[in-house]
Structure 1
């Protein structure tokens, strides 16, 4: 009976656990307290663990310490959403605990699980029981108490999985929202899937990643040629890079133009400056096309066929070569006093933030939470004394804070939980005040902004005393379900009525991609007629899934 595990088995356990988690991401996504169409815990945890495995694949040795460090680094940078950040901290704690070990005993592994729990709890300012934190803590404590009682690693992990499932089943008793929704905690379920995959590996059967469920652990990273590709002719021979200054073209337009000239395309750009990296057989034509839209600030062309003949570039260097197209790109060479990073979904909302002076708008939010690495890349592109991050989503704040901890720059995370709060804080910003004063101003602004969301239900449920049927229009303010029904205008009006009080002056509506402009304008007029004491403002947001985002001030 196996009493210890070596580095190779330690690797296989994490790969198997990661694959099992990714295979169950859709199930985990559906364990959402609110019946809204953006349940993304499974997706976030899957992308986080996939990033860890991608980093693990770069480690050729079976050193337990190196394996742990790679998993920690990959999960840290790839962490998305609160569940992903917590998972990355669990892995970080495990990695720290196994440093210096050539093999792991049952007791070593129990201490590693406990270390994962302790590290995760320290990373959360206000830990909430009934979540993934509870499951990792209770299973970690159980592991410590029972490490001496198990005759083999298999018996030990079987007990851990049983206890983790019991802990998961108890989460609705600790968190009323879960009990009301009739679900267990989604993050806790993801952790259980990780444990179950580990157990399968130690029994000799590594869980395979099902097709379409994520990043396979054996494939080459995106944009990096596999072994087979190396033996054939290079399709596009010239690595072409340039920086275009243009008042007329945005990155999306340039990307569409360049797609027909080659592959390995990377386009990034902000404030009239677009950086392009493309592999092409027509570098001259590529540059001529770009010149139609402005002037070229820099140009770099390399013959990759000659490079290929001279030396085959290792996988990791090729990956760095492609990824470097978006690295080291600084928006402003001269340091400025402050800069802003925000996240949003929808072209209209992005334009609004751009108009308010935001340097970088990261696409993400309700349906795709940005990773820690996304924030780090944005931070590195801004040369400013103080950089403010507005996450605009409660599930993104932890990843932003994790980037803050990693960065050596002066970063300030404003805890905006939705779009109206983000916009309100930008309006409250005083360019003549220091960071401390502005953070105080933001706190005041957040207290005075009421926010609402109108979307549709993805399942039947009863919440806050309101019966909801699948596909009903639902209105939410804060964490409370306010209205449900079949008529969009009626539900939206009910939410606005709930939000308005005698101190309200302005109602702002941001209509989404599924609402026609004429319908939105007509509805805004109806609201203005009904609520005469407030001013109603209407803007195109273009956000997916949410018909209206509402702000009342």
Structure 2
């Protein structure tokens, strides 16, 4: 079998195959997490990002190579989850740029698109690290440029690029000592190889790819809302669509639509504008959009009868359910609004008490997408919006949301729940944005976070052998304590992270521990450090027995 040209239909098949192969192998990618903790989610995040791409592709009515690539870019951009998902979305963005205005693809165009994909991803990361998915992407792109003249068969070309990518992937432990210590290759790089391999497999297979793996995410589901009061719904039609356009003044279009309803989301990039609005006149909204270009992926749902209709996707269903049940409120403009990512009933309560406007469920194993964050941004009315990711794997998605929104957004690089809480405690309504930003950043730097969880596999870290199900204590990217007893590991961890400035230890205990167990730990710590204040707070977080805030 020989393939010298890929058209839009074949590219669609390749990308669907890529998504399926990644989905089939996501758990292996998850298992490559450097830390043996129960929240390795690189494979899951990349797979969900890919599925968002495929959703956009399947909604296309015509399939030129450029339009398929552009749809994949838009879908991945909005659905990106975690750092690996955001980087993958940037790879697709560069790939789409490389295929701009191309009806078909040969090896030369494909090689150049691969190179542009890697370049775009590198630019999106402030401090690119070698030995990661970025390295694998760059090496694949550069290698492709060296062989495309001699390899006109795209299947042979792809096979050679994948083989080279695997060689590079296997070298990542030599580039990153932390990978070598853990005895794994880079998870994101492995995920990218699965994407390329899945595309190759699809192109070599004459059979159509079954979408069963995808139906749970894109198929319509019956949601039993029960009786819903609809009299107070001011705008009855949830309207969504995408505009294919060269029009770039997103702000003006957003203002033009703002008088037509509420819950407005208008984002654009690379020739597409995505719109979500609740309105009483979807026809008028669509007419205004048609003046800018062609429309696709149009969805109009009557929210007054939403409980009897079929809606797409579990996450989207929950959003719509919230929209239906929420009464129309007159929102007053204010100077500041806060959005915080949180996981756990008790931690949610703490953030609400600190006046967070919108809490996005998420954290370890549950990284919200760029679109989830954008939807939260549209809910708040502050002139200045502070976003607290509270997880290092969510920061890139938050920054991507900031770039897509026209609102004034400040993303604080909070990597833990205690950092997010400390930042909020340092906030003063009467200060300027600059003054608050400075104070909140200082607060982030003055809090130390410790976490106690369990190992999901055997490994060796910093010359310490760790066995599956061992209890481990973590702080600042290091495993500082291991053992079989949760309390003993917790105390050992605290010993390793307190310093001469410590005066307060706050214990957030998870949903797998009792208050009695947490109080018992607090008593032991109080006996050992009688000049410290020790507080116990129900966090309700899964997977992590304890989260410590040391101040």
TM-score range, shorter chain: 0.7 to 0.9
Q: In structure 2, what is the equivalent of residue 433 of structure 1?
A: 431
Query: Residues 35 and 300 from structure 1, CA distance in 2 versus in 1: closer, same or farther, beyond 3 angstroms?
Result: closer
User: In the alignment, is the contact (CA less than 8 A) between 2:8 and 2:67 conserved in 1?
Assistant: no
Q: In structure 1, what is the equivalent of residue 293 of structure 2?
A: none
Q: 1:300, 1:187 → 2: CA distance?
A: 40
Q: 1:215, 1:239 → 2: CA distance?
A: 30
1:241 equivalent among 214, 230, 234:
230
How many residue pairs were aligned?
Answer: 480
After superposition, give the CA deviation of every residue in 1:159-188 in whole Å (9 maximum; x if it has no partner).
011011111101101001110000001100
Q: 2:188, 2:452 → 1: CA distance?
A: 25
Q: 1:484, 1:303 → 2: CA distance?
A: 51
Query: Residues 494 and 107 from structure 1, CA distance in 2 versus in 1: closer, same or farther, beyond 3 angstroms?
Result: same
User: In the alignment, is the contact (CA less than 8 A) between 1:200 and 1:206 conserved in 2?
Assistant: no
Q: In structure 2, what is the equivalent of residue 363 of structure 1?
A: 361
Q: In structure 2, what is the equivalent of residue 215 of structure 1?
A: 214
Aligned ranges 1:76-155 → 2 under 5 Å: 76-155=77-156
After superposition, give the CA deviation of every residue in 1:484-505 in whole Å (9 maximum; x if it has no partner).
0011111000110111111111
Q: In structure 2, what is the equivalent of residue 258 of structure 1?
A: none
User: In the alignment, is the contact (CA less than 8 A) between 2:342 and 2:417 conserved in 1?
Assistant: yes
Q: 1:320, 1:475 → 2: CA distance?
A: 36
Q: Shift in Å at residue 151 of structure 1?
A: 3.5
Q: Shift in Å at residue 238 of structure 1?
A: 9.1
Query: Residues 350 and 220 from structure 1, CA distance in 2 versus in 1: closer, same or farther, beyond 3 angstroms?
Result: closer
SS at match of 1:215: helix
Q: Shift in Å at residue 67 of structure 1?
A: 1.1
Q: Shift in Å at residue 438 of structure 1?
A: 1.5
Q: In structure 2, what is the equivalent of residue 474 of structure 1?
A: 472
Q: 1:304, 1:453 → 2: CA distance?
A: 41
2:194 is equivalent to residue 193 of structure 1: yes
User: In the alignment, is the contact (CA less than 8 A) between 1:16 and 1:207 conserved in 2?
Assistant: no
Aligned ranges 1:483-522 → 2 under 5 Å: 483-522=481-520
Q: 1:475, 1:236 → 2: CA distance?
A: 42
CA RMSD of aligned residues (A): 2.8
Q: Shift in Å at residue 460 of structure 1?
A: 1.1
Query: Residues 206 and 39 from structure 1, CA distance in 2 versus in 1: closer, same or farther, beyond 3 angstroms?
Result: farther
- Name structure 1 gaps, 5 residues minimum: 226-234, 245-267, 269-298
Q: In structure 1, what is the equivalent of residue 55 of structure 2?
A: 54
Q: In structure 2, what is the equivalent of residue 453 of structure 1?
A: 451
Q: In structure 2, what is the equivalent of residue 33 of structure 1?
A: 34
- Name structure 2 gaps, 5 residues minimum: 234-262, 264-301
2:397 equivalent among 380, 395, 399:
399
Query: Residues 35 and 304 from structure 1, CA distance in 2 versus in 1: closer, same or farther, beyond 3 angstroms?
Result: closer
After superposition, give the CA deviation of every residue in 1:5-42 in whole Å (9 maximum; x if it has no partner).
11111111111111111110111110110000000000
Q: In structure 2, what is the equivalent of residue 172 of structure 1?
A: 173
Q: Shift in Å at residue 206 of structure 1?
A: 6.1
User: In the alignment, is the contact (CA less than 8 A) between 1:13 and 1:198 conserved in 2?
Assistant: yes
SS at match of 2:181: helix
Q: Shift in Å at residue 216 of structure 1?
A: 3.7
Q: Shift in Å at residue 215 of structure 1?
A: 2.3
Query: Residues 455 and 323 from structure 1, CA distance in 2 versus in 1: closer, same or farther, beyond 3 angstroms?
Result: closer
Q: 2:142, 2:114 → 1: CA distance?
A: 8
After superposition, give the CA deviation of every residue in 1:444-479 in whole Å (9 maximum; x if it has no partner).
112211111000001111112222111011001111
After superposition, give the CA deviation of every residue in 1:244-272 in whole Å (9 maximum; x if it has no partner).
9xxxxxxxxxxxxxxxxxxxxxxx9xxxx
Q: Shift in Å at residue 396 of structure 1?
A: 0.4
Structure 1 length-normalised TM: 0.82
Q: 1:100, 1:516 → 2: CA distance?
A: 60
Q: Shift in Å at residue 239 of structure 1?
A: 8.0
User: In the alignment, is the contact (CA less than 8 A) between 1:331 and 1:383 conserved in 2?
Assistant: no
After superposition, give the CA deviation of every residue in 1:479-528 in whole Å (9 maximum; x if it has no partner).
11101001111100011011111111111110001111011111101101
After superposition, give the CA deviation of every residue in 1:324-369 in whole Å (9 maximum; x if it has no partner).
5656978762111101111111100000100011011111100210
Q: In structure 2, what is the equivalent of residue 546 of structure 1?
A: 544
Query: Residues 189 and 326 from structure 1, CA distance in 2 versus in 1: closer, same or farther, beyond 3 angstroms?
Result: same
Query: Residues 216 and 170 from structure 1, CA distance in 2 versus in 1: closer, same or farther, beyond 3 angstroms?
Result: farther
